[in-house]
Amino acid sequence: MEIKNKHVFWEALIVAILIFSSGILIGYILEMNRTNKIVTMYQESELNLLDVNVQKNLLSLNNIDCDGAIKQTIIFADRVYEEARFLDRYEDSAKLSQGLMFEHKRYDLLRTILWTNAIELKEKCGQKFKTVVYFYEYKPESLETRSLQTTFANKLSVIKEQFGNSIILIPLATNLEVNSIDYLLKVYNILETPTILIDEEIKISNIEDFKNLETYLK
């Protein structure tokens, strides 16, 4: 072997490591950018939640009308629901960092607060809307669960379009070790995923009951 070719294996290794590491770094930056985008969205949503909370507190002083508070809550819920879908897409494509899982937990907490707010709102203003809480497993291993959850999620997005402002749709992951969600699971006796809880009363876990989802919402 000629001298000029003698070290080519090492040279190729060094070049490959350099270029490959750059690729990984760029990938990591890309994922961090996506995480930052989610963080910004979350911060805006957090502000909205504060606003909703203030309105709810004002309710207790009888200084605000129910219709306004409900409207704000529904707008906020819709926004958080859309952001959740956005977050899902980014999460599916995240391979290098775990940052989005943390954001997912924060969103789940935000949605839990939203749900409790909605419950209070229904108590104070009457049953002017329905809450549809969708409990699902975060990144399930089982193909059966994954397929069932995709079907439930697809159907729920259609339902949301169909029923518009008369329902608040709140998806919550059950396996992210968030204490308040674990507590709510116990309170409402949610034992399996996916499960849909309508107005804190009706539970739908199997595909047969799921077929009649529309009738429960009418």
Partner 1 sequence: MQILPIIYFAYMFVSFYFLILILLLYFKNKNSLFESPKMTKEYTISILIPAYNEEKTIADTINAVYNIDYNNIIEIIAINDGSKDNTLNVIKSLASKYKNLKIFDKPNSGKADSLNKALKFCHGELIVVVDADSYPSKDSFKKMVGYFDDKQVGAVTAACIPRNRTTFLEKLQVIEYKVIAFTRKILEYVDGIYVVPGTGGMYRAEAIKKAGFDIHNITEDIEATWHLVHDGWKIRMCLATSVHTEVPNKIKPWYNQRRRWALGGLQCLNKYKDIIFRKGMLGYFIVPFFALGLFLGLIGMIIFSYLLLRRTITSYLIAKYSISVSSPILTMNSLYITPSVLNYFGLVLFFLFLLFTFFVLAIMKDRLFEKQSFFNLLFYMTIYLLSYPIILIVACRHYLGKKMIWR
The answer to whether the peptide bond before residue 194 is cis (omega within 30 degrees of 0) is: yes
**22 binds partner 1 per the rule CB under 8 A:** no
* Residue pair 15/77 in contact by the 8 Å Cβ criterion: no
Paired strand residues for 172: 135
**68 binds partner 1 per the rule CB under 8 A:** no
Kindly determine how many residues on this chain lie close enough to bind partner 1 according to the rule CB under 8 A.
Answer: 42
Which tokens in the block code for residue 188?
């409402």
Exposure class string for 94-117: b at 16+ Cβ within 10 A, else e: beeeebbeebbbbbbbbbbebbeb
Which tokens in the block code for residue 144?
């059966």
Q: Give least dist CB 207 to partner 1, A.
A: 6
**Residue in 33, 43, 116, 150 binding partner 1, rule: CB under 8 A:** 150
Measure the CA–CA gap between 163 and 169, rounded to whole angstroms: 10
* Range 28-47, binding partner 1 (CB under 8 A): 28, 30-31
Residue 94-133 contact track with partner 1, rule CB under 8 A, x = bound: xxx-------------------------------------
Q: Give least dist CB 122 to partner 1, A.
A: 27
What are the DSSP calls for 124-169, one per residue? HH-SSSEEEEEEE-SS-S-HHHHHHHHHHHHHHHHHHHHHGGGEEE
Q: Give least dist CB 143 to partner 1, A.
A: 5
Q: Give least dist CB 74 to partner 1, A.
A: 20
**Residue in 36, 43, 53, 157 binding partner 1, rule: CB under 8 A:** 157
The 8-class DSSP code of residue 171 comes to E
Sites of contact with partner 1 (CB under 8 A): 1-2, 4-5, 8-9, 11-13, 15-16, 19-20, 23-24, 27-28, 30-31, 85, 89-90, 92-96, 143-144, 146-148, 150-151, 154-155, 157-158, 207, 210-211, 213
